[in-house]
Amino acid sequence: MKKYKVGILGATGTVGQRFIQLLEGHPQFEVTALAASDRSAGKPYAEACAWKLNGAIPESVRDITVQPIEPPLDCDLVFSSLPSSVARETEEAFARAGYPVISNSSSYRMDEDVPLLIAEINAEHLDLIDVQRQKRGFSKGFIVTNPNCAVVSFAPPLAAIHRKFGVESAIVTTMQAVSGAGYPGVSSMDIVDNVVPYIAGEEPKVETEAQKILGTFADGAIQKADFSVSAQCFRVNVLDGHTCSVRVNLKEQATLEDLVTAMKEFPSLGLHSSPKTFIEVMDEPNRPQPRVDRDAGDGMTITVGRVFPDTVFDYRFVSLSHNTVRGAAGSAILNAELLIDRRII
């Protein structure tokens, strides 16, 4: 199998580290270039990076010299986890220079000509790439994004429901892990024995991204799904794993069993990073829980539980995903695998 050379933009950050960890031993990708801010550039990765994940820095990247975040890099594609302040300009520069940019940043997510992709849900949105290239004058390069980490925790069960019965509206309350804020991110003084009812910029993202993901592609554009989402976002004292409390109103009637079946049967793809089960519906009354369930399917499975009729909406449930794997680096890698599978890369 051909190995693609991979560059990582923002390689020293929390998500950058997760890219490196997940790409270690990957059959299709080999990390050949690491780019980070000026402060890190010029140093060996092992020295530039304050590694925060469990286990050691993979040997294969320890000695790679960190480069400035600008093309050219010695690679076939780049994964980006740049902060949104610099992502917009930099990712465009890479796309223009001919690199496929698979981005975890928020900058381009809502641009009309940029796919906002959950590989299992809206692969047909990849047809936007042609539109994008034409509009922006990219030749070989392009930008594909994956959603906000909280959105990834509830969009899959919502998609399963939407496809079968139509979603009319959804109410989401998130309880998000501290790793979602990067490092150092959330101060311990803010989260020990505490809950914080605010994450800067998060609620609008959670309220808008799902409609685009579940939209339909036709005539060179995405028609957004016509439901509305309400989001209240909280930071809780959890290391990894975003938990969502969800109520949903349907357009068509469905039984509880219908709903559960729709989720369980939502197909996983057969790609390398695909979990065996995309959406796992648990019967135990006290699941899913972030510490216990975030690593399901090596962090790529969405776990769902407490699916019940609701007293105000039609149904309620709880969903959870690993925010730096399925909610960030893992989803981006899966997107890259899909792009190869579709021969777009």
User: Which pair of structure tokens corresponds to residue 102?
Assistant: 């698979």
Active site residue 149: yes
Residue 303 to residue 288: CA distance in whole angstroms: 6
Site membership for a copy of itself, residue 292 (CB under 8 A): yes
Residue 1 to residue 30: CA distance in whole angstroms: 12
Rounded to a whole number of angstroms, the minimum distance from the CB of residue 318 to a copy of itself is 4
Cα 65 to Cα 6, 31, 80, 81, distances in angstroms: 14, 12, 17, 18
Which residues inside 218-277 make contact with a copy of itself, applying CB under 8 A? 228-232, 234, 236-239, 243, 245, 247
Residue 329 to residue 81: CA distance in whole angstroms: 8
Q: Which of 63, 124, 190, 226 binds a copy of itself (CB under 8 A)?
A: 190
Q: How many residues lie near a copy of itself (CB under 8 A)?
A: 59
> In this structure, what is the dihedral angle of CA atoms 188, 191, 196, 200, given to the nearest 10 degrees?
30
Q: Are 73 and 91 in contact (CB under 8 A)?
A: no
Pick the closer one to a copy of itself by CB: 1 or 189. Answer: 189
Q: Which of 97, 196, 271, 344 binds a copy of itself (CB under 8 A)?
A: 196
Residue 38 to residue 58: CA distance in whole angstroms: 23
Q: Is 232 helix (H, G, I), strand (E, B) or coil?
A: strand
The stretch among 28-36, 52-60, 133-141, 255-263 that binds a copy of itself (CB under 8 A) is 52-60
Q: Are 107 and 146 in contact (CB under 8 A)?
A: no
Pick the closer one to a copy of itself by CB: 6 or 325. Answer: 325
User: Which pair of structure tokens corresponds to residue 78?
Assistant: 């780049």
Q: Are 109 and 147 in contact (CB under 8 A)?
A: yes
The stretch among 4-12, 19-27, 179-187, 253-261 that binds a copy of itself (CB under 8 A) is 179-187
Pick the closer one to a copy of itself by CB: 1 or 56. Answer: 56
Catalytic residue among 49, 75, 125, 149: 149
Residue 162 to residue 157: CA distance in whole angstroms: 9
Rounded to a whole number of angstroms, the minimum distance from the CB of residue 246 to a copy of itself is 8
Site membership for a copy of itself, residue 84 (CB under 8 A): no
Q: Which of 60, 173, 261, 277 binds a copy of itself (CB under 8 A)?
A: 173
Active site residue 244: no
Residues that bind a copy of itself (CB under 8 A): 14, 52, 54-55, 169-171, 173, 175, 178-179, 183-198, 207, 228-232, 234, 236-239, 243, 245, 247, 285-292, 295-296, 305-306, 310-313, 316, 318
Active site residues per annotation:
149, 242
